[in-house]
Amino acid sequence: MSAPRRLANAVLGSLPAAVARPAYDRRLVRPGIVHLGVGAFHRAHEAVHTDDVLATGDLGWGIVGASLRSPDTRDALAPQDGLYTLASRDGAGERLRVIGSGAGLLVAPEDPQALLAAMADPQVRIVSLTVTEKGYCHSPASGELDEAHPDIVHDLGAPNAPRSAVGFIVEAIARRRAAGVPPFTLLSCDNLPANGRTLKRVVSRFARLRDADLGRFVADEIACPSTMVDRIVPATTDADRTAIAGALGVEDAWPVVTEPFSQWVVEDDFGAGRPEWERSGVTFVKDVDPYELMKLRLLNGSHSTLAYLGYLAGHETVAAAMAAPGFAKLVRNMMDVEVTPTLAGLEGVDLGAYKDDLVARFRNPALRHRTWQIAMDGSQKLPQRLLGTIRDRIASGAPFARLALGVAAWIRYACGTDEKGAPIDVRDPLAATMRERARDADTAGGLVAAFLRLEQVFGTDLAAEPVFARAVETALAGLLRDGAAATVVRVAAS
């Protein structure tokens, strides 16, 4: 039997007519972007908007994708000439499109010098990142570089062979500078507040720790526009692979499944030029912060709340939680009553319609977005998703029982045992610390006190705020007493 055919340049012409494919000659594409973190999110977002730009004939923006840890993406996509399928799905059906903007795949730990060489290439004018919150090696509460982080300690000791995104970026900047090559623009596409400024803060600090002059250069010369990125992209499953191979007529080792919706709001500050992403529906603005706050607090804050409560109540996916009693009402009330009053300065944005869309997107029956996936790395996510909103509510003397329930559900989840006594696979840089704290406390009050001492999550202000501790303790006591399903129904009705 011959091996099943695989997606590749050579088979593009024979794909079914309904499958969209690169509308340009891939052989003429030149690399213009190096992207750190070629996971599913990047491949459903920046890579797609860039594919649109390539199709306009501007072929100087191919993306060299780098994985900072595992070779999996390269191993899956290199035999496919970097091609993969994007499946966008909702209740109305599915659209398939093969994305061709990839212009090379690198695996940093295998060959750090190859990645540094790609980043130092004068043709490359943008280095973008989706390395997730923890990839910034910073304290989520303060936004400052964590100078004790093992990767940062390593990279300061061996700047020519870095491990962290921050280490690669600063070494590449230094090499370009030494070679007289103009700097690239740094483009963060992670869900962090003021992600450009956060990135700038950590790379400037790291550069200064290497050498004062390099620190000044990074602070003065490197453009780091902030961006708000939005597209829901669940992890690909084997069932997705099988279904997509069936529709394509060839195998695709790593397709990406997503929703039809995609949004990207970007500050227009690119010293070395940029793709005309506006031709692909990207919005360029002067100040992204209000959009970022809206998205982090409304979408991601709701998502995390749904993830912890949903997981504890036994729901595997967000859509399943949304269909269960109380969940949809709880998150909508949280958005309307507790989050919306903390948002300002969004001219021309219809927040009511935005929230209606969010509820519909969370309900999308065609996406199997696991609550467990969103629950990952809560210690890195909570500050910008729930805690900032809570700070604003406390400052204005307003109640925040639903947000406090989100925080309590995270604590309950991070204790590591579900409501039936089964272990939870808690994936979080602080997982071990949190498990220890949970072991030493057995009441809601004891647990809240133990978790509030996590300064990198709560800072020193919230830890010392009795109103906050009381609200979270009340919510956690309810969860421990009644379980998540009943608590959601009760709080939704309040």
In the bound state with ligand CS2, the residue whose beta carbon lies nearer, of 107 and 296, is: 296
In the bound state with ligand CS2, the residue whose beta carbon lies nearer, of 138 and 303, is: 303
Measured from the CB of residue 44, what is the shortest distance to ligand CS2 in angstroms? 10
Q: Within a 13 Å sphere around the CA of 283, how many CA atoms are in the beta-carbon half?
A: 15
In the bound state with ligand CS2, the residue whose beta carbon lies nearer, of 67 and 191, is: 191
Strand 84-90 relative to strand 62-67: parallel, antiparallel, unpaired?
unpaired
Tokens 């730009």 -> residue: 53
Q: What does the H/E/C string look like for 217-252?
A: HHHHHCCCCCEEEECCCCCCCHHHHHHHHHHHCCEC
Measured from the CB of residue 373, what is the shortest distance to ligand CS2 in angstroms? 6
Measured from the CB of residue 303, what is the shortest distance to ligand CS2 in angstroms? 4
Measured from the CB of residue 347, what is the shortest distance to ligand CS2 in angstroms? 22
Under DSSP, the state recorded for 60 is S
In the bound state with ligand CS2, the residue whose beta carbon lies nearer, of 168 and 264, is: 264
In the bound state with ligand CS2, the residue whose beta carbon lies nearer, of 80 and 191, is: 191
Task: Kindly list the residues in this chain that would bind ligand CS2 in the complex (CB under 6 A).
Answer: 191, 230-232, 299-300, 303, 373-374, 381
Measured from the CB of residue 338, what is the shortest distance to ligand CS2 in angstroms? 18
Q: Which amino acid is at 280?
A: S
Measured from the CB of residue 262, what is the shortest distance to ligand CS2 in angstroms? 9
In the bound state with ligand CS2, the residue whose beta carbon lies nearer, of 26 and 231, is: 231
Measured from the CB of residue 232, what is the shortest distance to ligand CS2 in angstroms? 4
Q: Name residues whose C-beta falls within 8 Å of residue 146's C-beta, 6 or more positions apart in sequence.
A: 137, 138, 139, 152, 456
Residue 403, Cβ density class (10 Å: 0-12 exposed, 13-18 middle, ≥19 buried): buried
- Going from the C-alpha of 448 to that of each of 54, 186, 258, 412, 486, the distances in angstroms are 51, 38, 36, 10, 21
Kindly report the number of other CB atoms within 10 A of residue 464's CB atom: 11
- Going from the C-alpha of 65 to that of each of 23, 77, 436, the distances in angstroms are 21, 11, 38
Measured from the CB of residue 54, what is the shortest distance to ligand CS2 in angstroms? 23
In the bound state with ligand CS2, the residue whose beta carbon lies nearer, of 155 and 377, is: 377
Nearest to 230 by CA among 322, 281, 303, 295: 295
Query: Phi first, then psi: what are they for 376, rounded to 5°?
Result: -60, 150
